[in-house]
Structures are given as structure tokens and as C-alpha cells.
Structure 1
């Protein structure tokens, strides 16, 4: 998953797209390996396509679908990737609503859904895209709770006017009682407080493992005004404050700068937090969250208490939901 950034306009296609009508010798270019088919009638340079991350391949496929279906409203993960909301891996299908259709049908990898209730959408740069509210409600009804929480949290961060009350109200208009129940559980927990999809997913997994619920984004005050730090997760236990940090893999990969310098800064910050009263600071990454037994071991070693039975169905389905993560 890329570093999350919410866009006022749609995210641009990561690679140039070439339509069959614009290239008279396109079949020859495909046979020679210069172009790769993205969608029927839409192609991209093979060298650029091969270098794309899974989520950027998906964004490219959605842009290709927009060329084929310019009047469709993109929804679900397809709208999420256009708006910069979380998308995990590379979803298999592009989802859109055909406003003039009364029946859902598939055309290749594109799912054109019937417009039983036209979704709320906006015209963003010529593309019709479901609102963050619609995206969050669909995720809460249809996706794994950890993924749905990440999408809802990100939608709340992106639009300060949006509330979980708005999400609940829209969800209750859907006919599926099972979907409404699933969505209520998500909206009971959704919040703009988590600062990343990893924090949102971590919060879901921590609860599912049975641990005591943490405070999130807790301020640890410094000796001078403005000299404060925040910890992603914090537990108070027997007079001790336990800190937890959900660190995205990219932070220490060197992609954003010197990885060794980032690690040194982390050690310095951890030491500063402990001087200010945090007993221990423990870190985890996507690999630890997608394999819950690893996060469980980290938190137990930190001294976090298990206070309820684990939610085994949620934990057992987590790996499939997070497939494609870095």
C-alpha cells in the first residue's frame, strides 16, 4: 500500500494509456512486447506496466475502464483508488454503476452494477466517482472488518464534515440486514484518530486478539511547550505506560531517504519517550499485523493484558483480506 494521500481530484494514471484507435500497428507492438493489454482496446508500455506496484496496476486498470465506460460511476475499491483511499493489493475486478441499467452484468474484469439506488457521486476531472461516504459504506457492508475500518477511518480524515452518523444513516437504507449489521460494527469503531491504514488495521487486530483496548495518538508531554511526542497506541497497566508504534515498511526501507538515519531517529525518539514516563515502546509492521500471532507475541512481551476471548473467525480471514501488502 502506498503512503496515503487524499486527493481533491482523481489520482492520475501512473502510466500512459494507448487506445487501439490511436495506434494503427498496435497488434504488432503487442506481439513484439512493447505494449501490454490493460483492458480490451486499451494498452500500456510493457516496461512501465511491469514496474507498477499492485495497487498502481489496479489504478491503471480503473483508468482504462473509464475510457471504455465514460458514463459509468466508479464505486467500491475502484472509487477508492481514484480518491486515494486505502486499496489493499490488486483487486480482481473494476466496479462501476451503469446508471441506465437495471441488471448487473460483467464485461471481462469490469463489473457493471445495476442502479437500484444511484450512488452519491461527483464529477472529478471528467470521471464519475462515488463519494467517500458511499465508498466507506460499501466497504463496511462488503469487506473484511479490518479493511472496512481502514477505509472508513481514511474517509473521515479526508472530509472533516463526514461523520459515522452519516455513514450509519446511509447504510441503513440498504436492503441486506446482514450487511447492515456488519456495517454497524465497523462504524462503532471508525474514527479519524488513526493516522494510517496500518494503524486502523492494527486497532482491529488488537481488539480481535482479545487485548485491552489502547488509547490512540496519546500525547506524551515534554518539558517545554511544543516539545511533545505522540505514541500511536498506549496502554496503562499497574502504573506503567506501554507504548506501541505501527511503522509502515516504507519508512525504514530507504525509499523515502536514508534507512539507517530513520532507524537512528526512531531509537532517539524511543529513548526520549521512556525518559518522559513511557515504560517501553514496541514497534510492529504490516508483516506482524497480517500474521496476528506475531503481533500477539509482541504485545504479550510488552506486558499488554488479554482481557477477552479472541475473535477467531476475524483473525482467520485476515490473511486473505490483506493479500498483496508489501
Structure 2
């Protein structure tokens, strides 16, 4: 269950001894943050949250203001399922079962969905599309580079929620007749590329950008050893170019499952020592972070400068035996 901050609803302000003017003053001072019309949360708590956590709060806040049952979809459903996605400025998204073209209102974008074949799950007190429909919708209506992370995630078991890994066959079956031919092609392209070996959303996004930029596909989670034993596993490895790529997500230095009992400073030092050992083996190590991924062209320039090879076009593949 996601830990969400308590909400203060303007309709309940009298119960807390607040007037409308009191709420306005607290918002101006930063003590409260208005998440959406009529819904407030503690200011310091909100500012301490990461963007994806704030988005989850916005979804919950929307649910607090709806009077009719609402099915959340796409990024909003993904946030409830804890399925990672790319981007920070998505609207709250829900479904409408009326084929009127969908509509947007009060910060919520609604998309038409036919009732037939629609799987709806109650999760954390909200109605959301099922896991398969959620990631397929993201693949259908997001750019390829953003579609990969959710698919990679569901191909791995979700140990926190005790959910089994989905298979590519299950995802393919889920397409059915729900999507247009063009959307189905986009989904199948993303499914074919998806790989559970990507251990984080940042690695998935990196891999998709690497592919779109035309580089040779890297080996994922390559094991390295030296005279002292195991050095570790790389995020990306280009054997022919002798380049190792590392995505530096903050979870590597913050989350307990990555720290493994170490302090952040100890984790940083260990990572530096690991990189030095890799360099001593004759590899070039190139690192990037979220900001590099978000800045168009930055990762491509880094990898090109590091000497990572581009994919050869079919017309440039030379076969001496068949060459006239």
C-alpha cells in the first residue's frame, strides 16, 4: 500500500477549524499546498516528495473529488500499480465509456474505452485498468522511447506487490482488437524490444534512446572480474568498442536495497573503486544520469565521443564469398 499524506479537503475545513481565508494564508506561507481545487496537503511533505510520488498524490486527490466511480488509466493507472513511466508533467488520466471523443476537465484527461474486454481492478481503493491494459495503453499512445520502461518492468516479477512477471505472449494476446492497426504496430515494436534485464526505468529509457540513436545494441548486466575477483555487473557493455555504460540513478545511492547496509558516502566510494578497477582492465567507462537522458541528444553525444559503434545498415554488410 502506497503511503500517501493525509488530505485536507476544503469542504471539511470547518471540522478542522479553518476558514477559506485561513486556507489561503497557509498556502501563501507554504504550510499547505493545493494539489487540485479543494484538496490540500502538508507543504513540507509535498516538497520532500519525488515527482512520481507527487503525481500519485494528484491521482488520489482527483479521486477524492469525484462523486461517480472513475476508472483511472494510462499513467495514472501505472502510478497506482507502481509501474514506472517516463515524464513528469502528465495529466491525471481516466476512462469514459461514452464514445463522445473523450474530454478534459479540471486537470483530468478522459479517454474513450469500450466496455467489451475492459478489465478493471480495484487497487488501493481506486478503480484502475489491469496491468496488461495499462502498459499496452502506454505503448500505444506514448513515444517508443517512453513505452519501453513500463514493459520492461512488467516482464519482471514485482516482489513488493507479489505479482508474477508477465510474458511477451500475454502482452501480445492483450492487444486483441482493442487498438487501431497503427497503434498495434507501435505496441508490438515496443514489446519485441522490451527486456527484463533492464533493472530500472532509467536503464530502460537509456536503452531505448541508444536504439533510436542507431548504436550497436549493448550487452546488459555483463559480469566483470579481475585478479582480485568479482568487480561487478555493468548496466551496458559494448564488447567491440570496449566501452562500459553506467546509468547513475539516485536510487543507487539512496535506497536501502541498493545500499545494502552502507551509508551513501560508502556507496559512492565503492562505486568509484569499482570504476577504477574496470578502467584498469582497459575499458572506457561512460556515465550518465536522468538530466542527460532528458536533454535531447546528450546521451548520443556522450556515447559517440566514447567510441561506441553505430549499427551497420544491411546494404553495408560485406560478404566476401558472395561479392562479385
Change (3 A) 1:60 1:123: same
In the alignment, what sits opposite 1:12?
3
Q: Distance in 2 between matches of 1:206 and 1:175?
A: 28
Please, what is the CA RMSD of the aligned residues?
3.0
Q: Distance in 1 between matches of 2:45 and 2:76?
A: 21
In the alignment, what sits opposite 2:56?
59
Q: Aligned with 2:243: secondary structure?
A: strand
Deviations 1:144-178 (A, max 9, x none): 11111011111222344411222222224223222
How much does 1:300 deviate? Answer: 2.8
How much does 1:243 deviate? Answer: 1.6
Unaligned stretches of 5+ in structure 2? Answer: 314-324
Larger Rg: 2
Q: Distance in 1 between matches of 2:293 and 2:70?
A: 36
Q: In terms of mean alpha carbon deviation, does 138-147 or 37-46 score higher?
A: 37-46
Change (3 A) 1:111 1:289: closer
In the alignment, what sits opposite 1:110?
108
CA contact (8 A) 1:229 1:273 kept: no
Unaligned stretches of 5+ in structure 1? Answer: 1-8, 310-326
Q: 2:21 aligns with which of 24, 28, 33?
A: 28
How much does 1:140 deviate? Answer: 0.6
CA contact (8 A) 2:85 2:149 kept: no
How much does 1:193 deviate? Answer: 0.7
In the alignment, what sits opposite 1:245?
246
Change (3 A) 1:126 1:138: same
How much does 1:280 deviate? Answer: 2.5
Change (3 A) 1:74 1:285: same
Deviations 1:25-81 (A, max 9, x none): 351222212444323332223444345443232211101112223621211111111
CA contact (8 A) 2:243 2:306 kept: yes
Q: Distance in 2 between matches of 1:74 and 1:89?
A: 18
In the alignment, what sits opposite 1:131?
130
For normalisation by structure 1, the TM-score amounts to 0.78
Q: Aligned with 1:191: secondary structure?
A: coil
Q: Distance in 2 between matches of 1:232 and 1:38?
A: 37
CA contact (8 A) 1:289 1:295 kept: yes
CA contact (8 A) 1:55 1:88 kept: no
How much does 1:126 deviate? Answer: 2.0
For normalisation by structure 2, the TM-score amounts to 0.79
In the alignment, what sits opposite 1:148?
147
CA contact (8 A) 1:76 1:139 kept: yes
How much does 1:189 deviate? Answer: 0.4
Change (3 A) 1:26 1:94: farther
In the alignment, what sits opposite 2:318?
none
- Tell me if 1:230 matches 2:233: yes
In the alignment, what sits opposite 2:274?
269
CA contact (8 A) 2:33 2:46 kept: yes
How much does 1:195 deviate? Answer: 0.3
Q: Distance in 2 between matches of 1:71 and 1:193?
A: 38
Deviations 1:53-110 (A, max 9, x none): 43232211101112223621211111111222224443342112246x4543333112
Change (3 A) 1:56 1:29: farther
In the alignment, what sits opposite 1:163?
167
How much does 1:143 deviate? Answer: 0.6
Change (3 A) 1:119 1:228: farther
Change (3 A) 1:289 1:36: closer
